[in-house]
Structure 1
């Protein structure tokens, strides 16, 4: 990367930027559930080798310089409500002491609430070297500034900056600020055209979510829980053969593996809860050209209405494909507009089940001269009563179902995951062809 000195500030005073629709929804959710770890994104690594802690701290300063989202505050007192206040670079961020790097200390670091109005949405922590010579380094982000793709960008940028600080041939400078949303603005679109797009999207969702189906589950006692709901976690794994057939099925239908899994999940929910009409939440990326290197929250959740009655698997997958593409065309829509279309309160989602499908990309922090091993921490809470995460690798499919322990009985959770596994496209087991009775035989009548 082309690097330069982090001491040179991008601006000498804070700048105000509006929140995106997705960020506004997360800001409101945070006000109601400030301690919800399901709104936190954690990346943690056990590092062995000659780790230069001071160089790692300087590398983090360079990365926060490059990505304005990581040095932003999110106060609620903007001219029209909550805003993002981008702060000037302030040198090396504060690091938290993770003690011995135990699981308990990492979990406490993960659970610590963010104050979005007064602190940036990123925290760093580091432990003392253990008896085995390893050090735990952890980075916790609030979801308002981070999504899964951004977490990969952050780790790679941090590794590049650390190499620049430590390797003999490294360039001692800081990456230029990322492009994306902070690049020079494109020519303004005519207001009438934008208003027309908004009106068409509002009409689409009003039609799609009209007369919504009854909820899968009874409403919780509190309409908006003060904290994340305690999660019950179930997991199912399949091997390379299933992944191969999943991808073949998607290609044959002109669809994606995400769509195939969404169709199976919808059918499983309909089967377990006795419904022929369900609304799922499915994430869509809001990244545009030039934003691939940007750290920010550029993903939102959209409702996908799936009608199940009288549909075979082919017709169901075709419907999911068509409606997924329609939703993509109308993805720039405020959460409040979706709530109005579905007849729910502003802070209530118009769906009770969500699905997130990702291609497996193990977290990596390739620090120069060191070996890093990712450490996973289960959030312990869930935003939605039924939340299925599917991770697709070359050799495995991992399905993790997190359910609200207070409203989804354990037997129902097990039934949903089992039904998803049964409804996935499965490889046909190999069987030897039956012997041809007309072929030559041995003297005892056994085929030769």
Structure 2
């Protein structure tokens, strides 16, 4: 444990306990790690950036919290000062893959000491890219936007020779469920997922067990859909009176069914659990919910999927591990309840003025498999959709990832038909 003074000790949340346990199983697993990116356009002042990063870490409890096992429970200890290595200078033009190889390793993080992040900067002719290697226990997708906002504010103060200290945010604790609420939510999930099937593996191949998922590497493919596809998705969402998320999830569900022959399976999806007062807070403030795929081949699939999403969101206050415990009654080594994951990032990425430079976030792919197969779709500012599929190397999905991307592309064109066809191609990571 670090010698840094402890400000406060609290019981870890359910999600934090899951991440802590995953770290004990395999400290080198990429599944619990994030590599965030903030683009800086303009002449960068490195000492000012260093000071700004420290100011953000002092402001945000998530970046100065240790997680330890005491008295048979996992607790978080908020520290007075962050624990982190100095800002790392990378070579000019360093890209995401090279930065990930440098920053993401078992020595980067130490949850017991409160070392949950490491920052680096890679300059180039137009400015620089700031990389933040951060443990998922302290960071989710929306945290990247919060981080960029705070960093721009602190950097602007630093270059103006103003004290970089930002107001310290104390974590807002979510209200605990009452016994009656817990019972109602448990009943909701048992009813909703009764009889749901596992997703078959492609070609009837072997399914990785949970330990293999945690410790294995992953295969990855990417493709990009043009803005016309994004517009078609939005048009279909309006016709179906739902979110574009439901259109994309319906296409993914149909693609999974096409490849595996499966039906009545669930797809996991992360949803934000930020409550009032947490808008400016860093942390992993999400819950991963299973969405039971309805009948996927008949007309009206988008509306049915949207209905299934709403039913799952109604039970979102129950933590994932409680959902699993409520509905998964058969012992086994395979990932329970859902084996496929879907995530959609379409939030607005604000460009911040920070003294002489401009800052904005860059969508980043997952760096480790957290399901037997997973698809992430990011909507970029120009309207293109960046699609990334991943699967652990153990199992039969890696060989079928190109087929899955093609199936997703064709199913999306069928579900949202107003987009002109485009030439589909997949690519490995750069």
Band of TM-score, shorter chain: 0.7 to 0.9
CA distance in structure 2 between the aligned counterparts of 1:54 and 1:277, rounded to whole angstroms? 55
> Is 1:83 matched with 2:75?
yes
Q: TM-score, normalised by structure 2?
A: 0.83
Query: Which of the numbers 207, 213, 235 marks the counterpart of 1:248?
Result: 235
The aligned counterpart of 2:223 is: 236
Higher alpha-carbon Rg: 1
287, 292, 300: which is aligned to 1:300? 287
- SS where residue 301 of structure 1 aligns? strand
Q: Does 1:414 align with 2:402?
A: yes
Query: Would the aligned equivalents of 1:43 and 1:363 in 2 still touch at CA under 8 Å?
Result: no
**Counterpart for residue 120 of structure 2:** 125
1:359-370 matches, cutoff 5 A: 359=346, 367-370=354-357
Residue 122 of structure 1, CA deviation:
1.5
C-alpha RMSD of matched pairs (Å): 3.2
Closer, same or farther: CA 147–376 of 1 in aligned 2, 3 Å: closer
Q: Does 1:111 align with 2:95?
A: no
Farther-moved stretch of structure 1 (349-358 vs 225-234):
225-234
Matched, 1:325 2:313: no
Q: Distance in 1 between matches of 2:165 and 2:258?
A: 54
Deviations 1:292-350 (A, max 9, x none): 111111012111111326x5241x22222122112212112233322221235699442
- Seen in structure 2, the aligned counterparts of structure 1 residues 34 and 428 have a Cα distance that, compared at 3 Å, is closer
Distance in 2 (CA, whole Å) between partners of 1:363 and 1:413 is: 33
How far residue 176 of structure 1 moved from its aligned partner, in angstroms, is 1.3
Which residue number in structure 2 is paired with residue 5 of structure 1?
A: none
**Distance apart, 1:144 and its partner CA:** 0.5
Which residue number corresponds to residue 417 of structure 2?
426
CA distance in 2, matches of 1:178, 1:58: 18
What is the count of residue pairs matched by the alignment? 405
| CA distance in structure 2 between the aligned counterparts of 1:137 and 1:241, rounded to whole angstroms | 31
Instruction: Call closer, same or farther: CA 1:372–1:286 in 2, change over 3 Å.
Output: closer
Q: CA deviation at 1:50?
A: 4.3
SS at match of 2:265: strand
Is the Cα–Cα contact under 8 Å of residues 233 and 400 in structure 1 kept in the other structure?
A: yes
Residue from 144, 166, 175 that aligns with 1:175: 166
The TM-score normalised by the length of structure 1 is: 0.80
Where does residue 443 of structure 1 map in the other structure? Answer: none
**Could you tell me how far apart the structure 1 residues matched to 2:322 and 2:363 are?**
36
Alignment of 1:354-433 (within 5 A): 354-359=341-346, 367-370=354-357, 381-393=368-380, 394-424=382-412, 425-427=416-418
| Equivalent residues of 2:287, 2:319 under 8 A apart | no
Cα distance in 2 between the residues matched to 1:30 and 1:289 = 30
Query: In 1, are the aligned partners of 2:61 and 2:170 still within 8 Å (CA)?
Result: no
Instruction: Write out per-residue CA displacement over residues 2-60 of structure 1, whole angstroms, 9 at most, x where no aligned residue.
Output: xxxxxxxxx96431122222222222222223212232111245757543322222212
Looking at structure 2, the residues matched to 136 and 61 of structure 1 have their Cα atoms a distance apart, in angstroms, of 17
The aligned runs of 1:162-311 (5 Å cut-off) are 162-167=155-160, 171-178=162-169, 181=172, 194-217=178-201, 220=207, 222-225=209-212, 227-308=214-295, 311=297
CA drift at 1:365: 7.2
Q: Displacement, 1:406?
A: 2.7
Is this contact kept in 1: 2:207–2:396, CA < 8 A? no
Distance 1:349 1:52, change over 3 A: farther
Distance of aligned partners of 1:219 and 1:333 in 2 relative to their CA distance in 1, 3 Å threshold: farther
